[in-house]
Amino acid sequence: MKVCYFTATGNSLYVAKRIGGDRLSVPQLMKQDSIELQDDAVGIVCPVYGGEMPKMVRRFLKKAQIRTDFFFFIYTYGMNASAAKYHAAQAAKDAGIRLGYVASIKMVDNYLPGFEIRNQIETAGEKHIEEQIAAVRGDIEARKTCIPAAGLLQKIAMTLIHGTLGRAVLKDTAARAYMVNENCIRCGVCARVCPAGNIVVTDRVTFGDQCEDCYACVHNCPKNAIHLQHEKSAARFRNEHIALQEIMDANHCMRASSEKVSG
């Protein structure tokens, strides 16, 4: 079994590790000229952003050649999985892949414009995360079929969320509004955790126009030096079971520019 994952603050990586199989980082796979995956089961684990999958995961589905008898899609989310399951089914269909199973797991939400992170962390136990993961893992092991059928209301929600919320929240230029304060020591961690290679650190931190809106740079900064204009929390989050090095290994994408990082 192969499990492809996209992670920013560790939730999806943790779920991928608990599911088992061979883990493959989507950002690392996307650096390849071509992607061919074949196994008895192949799945994707990723967060919900703007009501659907991350932009890079959508591009991954279009690029990858996936051959399997059982294709599954697992979302991690904090507030509302919304129409994400229906988007997964449609995206798989568009990519010519027969989806066998899709589920979502409620975890700590890292969306700073919407949540006080300390409260998210303190109430994580109420979400029964381990029980959710165990149930999903059992379904996958049993090759359970579970595909959502989108009715009229779901199709309307998909259109509204993807067309309105998605465009408002998921902007390629979003990181240009991030603020880097005097705590920054230019260690380069932000560049190493960015799945899009959107950050260059020299004598300053520079953000490009390929932002995935994942907040990996914001939450993983060791000095809490990166901030959003309208964040509701100064606290930061990384899944307690995931080390910073694991996220850097999953996401780091060397640029052809004169990037200088240390640490």
Asked whether residue 256 is assigned to any structural domain, the reply reads no
Provide the sign of the torsion angle of the four alpha carbons 241, 27, 136, 117, taken in this order: positive
For residue 210, the domain's CATH number is 3.30.70.20
Provide the sign of the torsion angle of the four alpha carbons 192, 193, 197, 199, taken in this order: negative
How confident is the model at residue 153, as a pLDDT? Answer: 63
Question: Among 168, 195, 226, where does a domain finish?
Answer: 168
The phi and psi torsions of 52 (rounded to 5 degrees) equal -155, -165
Please check whether residues 145 and 201 belong to one and the same domain.
no
Please check whether residues 123 and 187 belong to one and the same domain.
no
Please check whether residues 48 and 132 belong to one and the same domain.
yes
Judged by DSSP in three states, 19 sits in helix
Please check whether residues 97 and 161 belong to one and the same domain.
yes
Single pTM value for the model:
0.90
Asked whether residue 259 is assigned to any structural domain, the reply reads no
Q: Which two three-digit tokens encode residue 144?
A: 């359970």
How confident is the model at residue 263, as a pLDDT? Answer: 32
CB neighbourhood size of 223 (10 A): 14
The phi and psi torsions of 235 (rounded to 5 degrees) equal -75, 155
The H or E element containing residue 217 is: helix 216-220
Residue written as tokens 């950050």?
199
Asked whether residue 193 is assigned to any structural domain, the reply reads yes
CA–CA gap between residue 63 and residue 75 (Å, rounded)? 20
Q: Which two three-digit tokens encode residue 6?
A: 């996209």
How confident is the model at residue 83, as a pLDDT? Answer: 78
Please check whether residues 160 and 113 belong to one and the same domain.
yes
How confident is the model at residue 84, as a pLDDT? Answer: 84
Please check whether residues 132 and 54 belong to one and the same domain.
yes
Q: Do 90 and 52 contact (CB within 8 A), yes or no?
A: no
Question: Among 168, 194, 214, where does a domain finish?
Answer: 168
Please check whether residues 136 and 197 belong to one and the same domain.
no
For residue 187, what are the β-bridge partners? none
The phi and psi torsions of 209 (rounded to 5 degrees) equal -115, 30
Judged by DSSP in three states, 180 sits in strand
As averages over each run of 10 residues, the pLDDT of the chain (263 residues) reads 98 98 98 96 95 92 96 92 82 92 95 92 95 98 85 59 59 90 97 97 95 96 95 95 97 52 34
For residue 205, what are the β-bridge partners? 201
Q: Do 24 and 4 contact (CB within 8 A), yes or no?
A: yes
Question: Among 138, 168, 198, where does a domain finish?
Answer: 168
Please check whether residues 78 and 200 belong to one and the same domain.
no
Please check whether residues 42 and 158 belong to one and the same domain.
yes
CA–CA gap between residue 14 and residue 5 (Å, rounded)? 10
Please check whether residues 190 and 236 belong to one and the same domain.
yes
Asked whether residue 257 is assigned to any structural domain, the reply reads no
Asked whether residue 261 is assigned to any structural domain, the reply reads no
Q: Is 50 exposed, middle or buried (0-12, 13-18, 19+ CB in 10 A)?
A: buried
Q: Is 259 exposed, middle or buried (0-12, 13-18, 19+ CB in 10 A)?
A: middle
Domain count of the chain?
2
Asked whether residue 160 is assigned to any structural domain, the reply reads yes
Please check whether residues 14 and 89 belong to one and the same domain.
yes
How confident is the model at residue 260, as a pLDDT? Answer: 35
How confident is the model at residue 87, as a pLDDT? Answer: 84
Residues of the domain holding 194: 174-251
Please check whether residues 202 and 126 belong to one and the same domain.
no
DSSP assignment, residue 125? G
CB neighbourhood size of 16 (10 A): 26
Q: Which two three-digit tokens encode residue 96?
A: 């010519």
Asked whether residue 244 is assigned to any structural domain, the reply reads yes
How confident is the model at residue 51, as a pLDDT? Answer: 81
Give the residue from 202, 226, 4, 128 showing the smallest Cα distance to 13: 4
For residue 110, the domain's CATH number is 3.40.50.360
Asked whether residue 81 is assigned to any structural domain, the reply reads yes
How confident is the model at residue 258, as a pLDDT? Answer: 30
